[in-house]
Structure 1
Amino acid sequence: MQNRLTSWWHEHAPRRETFENSRILAPIAHRVLAPELWRFTRRSVPRGVALGLLVGIFLMIPGLQIAGAAFLALPFRANIPLAAAMTFLSNPATTPLILWASVYVGNLALGRSSEIAQFMALMEQHASMARWFQWLVSEAAPAMIFGLALIAIAAAVIGYFLADWLWQQHLWRKWKARRGD
């Protein structure tokens, strides 16, 4: 499984060359194509994981998530491919759970009582955009947005420290193998 995933990633991950030929990125190409943003280093990997999780969870609009994470990676000197990849945590399978959790967490944090049952009913009924909008502008919007922010920040912090720890474990194993232990 690991080899398949690695080979798939190497085939489909964005490469610097794809961005070099883009006319849209020409004005900022010198920033986007900086080599340190494409290398997997001790500092860039945790930053990429954290930014990807933050943007992927908080910004629930496919396409904008990847672009947002990639552009945020520039000032934070995070790994661009990893930041883009981590946005896929929020996908059609996980989005309902993330939205439900955000309403729940937002209700707890703000002391509100937005109905989660109404959210579930709208999901089950495949409600129209108009009904979703009515629910959102009621009492649910502040709870959901605040909950999304809290969950995104928590996921980013956990992702940062987990990626840092895994990176250190990887280096420790390499060092131990080199020593011959």
Structure 2
Amino acid sequence: MSTMLSRMGAWLHRQMPTHEQLEGNRFTAPLARRQELFRFTRRSVPRGVAVGLLVGIFALIPGVQIVGAALMCVPCRGNIPLAAAMTFLSNPATTPFILAGSIWLGNQLGYHADLSTFHALYQSGAGVGEWGRWLLSDAAPALLVGLFVISTVCAALGYVLSMWFWRWWIGRKHHARRLRPSRPDATAVAKSENPA
């Protein structure tokens, strides 16, 4: 499990934008000057995860997700790079499942959207106009309510799991530090080398 977590941490580290990249972009430069939004603390990490999942699943528009997550991290004081990385969980491979699940959930909550039409449009590679007409029918309320519920539940779960993971990680580091042999005091070493 430790190897898998290390790999996942390395992958997330590679995906996150650097502080210099954010400062170089004119849109994100004002955010990059606020150092507290880029620190990994026990409060900012769960907030960043929750914001990234909430915006990433609800928005489903690639450019809007990262910008929306970064802007939402400002009042929430969440970690911006982590929130941006979490938006990648909704990607071209997972989006159809998120949409289908949202429509199904919206239908279960009393709205009406035809899933067979959704599957037919997806299978045929329909254009934006056809998707727009379908959404402007009675499918939009079911989709939006389903997306809201799924993104809110995922954000809450992400918050709790990342808070638990943070405590586990820090506890593991403290345990490893306690098990390390203590270094001898510098003055004791100097006295043993130069007995007077």
Larger radius of gyration: 2
1:169–1:5 distance in 2 versus 1, CA, 3 Å = closer
Normalising by structure 1, we get a TM-score of 0.88
Residue identity matched to 1:144: L
Residue equivalent to 2:47: 47
Residue equivalent to 1:128: 127
- List per-residue Cα deviations over 1:19-49 (Å, max 9, x = no partner): 33344455xx2x5422211111100000000
Paired residues of 2:44 and 2:79 also in contact (CA < 8 A): yes
- Any residues of structure 2 matched to 1:87-166 within 5 Å, and which? 87-109=87-109, 111-166=110-165
**Once the 2 structures are TM-superposed, how far is the Cα of residue 114 of structure 1 from its aligned partner?**
1.6
Percent identity between the aligned chains?
Answer: 50
CA distance in 2, matches of 1:9, 1:172: 21
1:9–1:149 distance in 2 versus 1, CA, 3 Å = closer
Unaligned runs of 5+ in 2: 181-196
CA distance in 2, matches of 1:8, 1:169: 20
Does residue 14 (structure 1) correspond to residue 13 (structure 2)? The answer is no
Residue identity matched to 1:112: Y
Paired residues of 1:32 and 1:74 also in contact (CA < 8 A): no
What SS does structure 1 have at the residue aligned with 2:171? helix
What is the RMSD of the two structures over their aligned residues, measured on CA atoms? 2.1
Q: How many residues align?
A: 177
Paired residues of 1:19 and 1:33 also in contact (CA < 8 A): no
**Once the 2 structures are TM-superposed, how far is the Cα of residue 64 of structure 1 from its aligned partner?**
1.0
